[in-house]
Amino acid sequence: MTGDVIRVLVVDDQALVRGGFRMILESQPDIEVVDEAADGSAALALCRTLRPDVVLMDVRMPGMDGLEATRQLLATGEGPRVLMLTTFDLDEYVYDALCAGASGFLLKDVRPEQLAEAVRVVAAGETLLAPAVTRRLVQQYVRRPRPGTARPSALDSLTERELAVLTLMARGRSNAEIAAELFLSETTVKSHVTHVFSKLRLRDRAQAVVVAYESGLVEPGEATDP
């Protein structure tokens, strides 16, 4: 980020939606909308030249949609943070968007103050994925391995404590909740989370959730509420 200002690119095929988001975000002293794009191709071009911190990306657009744009944008692992926008609570593309590296998603009817806070959350490197949303996404979209399928060997690189932290992340726990549950300091939990990301080559919590469910570490339908 440039100083303390979060630079945002707004991507949506509807001009009124883009204008509304721009107005909301630019009312915040710590957020600057650097430009707007009407489709994924335009978004990729603008990201190359403007290098925003956060991209508000609509899922469904003509031409290149938000999912493909997100895949291309984050393919190198060095792109901006992507916050997906959808009209539906469980859009069919949300799970794939998380697999592509998106940092979470918002409904388009989000309240103004929630939009600004969501931008701040993902700009800070966190993931916007509430436990209830995680559970519902997983129940509908995770392709579970067949019974007896060996879990990914990458998980073997984790210590028992790191595996426990990954499991609790997948259940929607925050760092503070994980610390309380495992009787650790929050600083220690943050360290474990960093090690999990590094060992599994993950970008953020969203991808950690995907890995945990796809590997069978956590099963769809398990309770996610503390």
Q: Residue 88: pLDDT band by 50, 70, 90 thresholds?
A: low
Distance CA 92, CA 60 (A): 10
Q: Residue 42: pLDDT band by 50, 70, 90 thresholds?
A: very high
Q: What is the pLDDT averaged over residues 67-90?
A: 82
Q: What is the pLDDT of residue 212?
A: 82
Tokens of 36: 């707007």
Q: What is the mean pLDDT of the chain?
A: 81
Contact between 155 and 132 under an 8 Å Cβ cutoff? The reply is no
Instruction: List the domains of the chain with CATH numbers.
Output: 6-128 (3.40.50.2300), 149-214 (1.10.10.10)
Q: Which segment of 100-109, 199-208, 215-224 scores lowest on mean pLDDT?
A: 215-224
Bridge-partner residues for 84, per DSSP? 57, 105
**pTM of the complete model beyond 0.85:** no
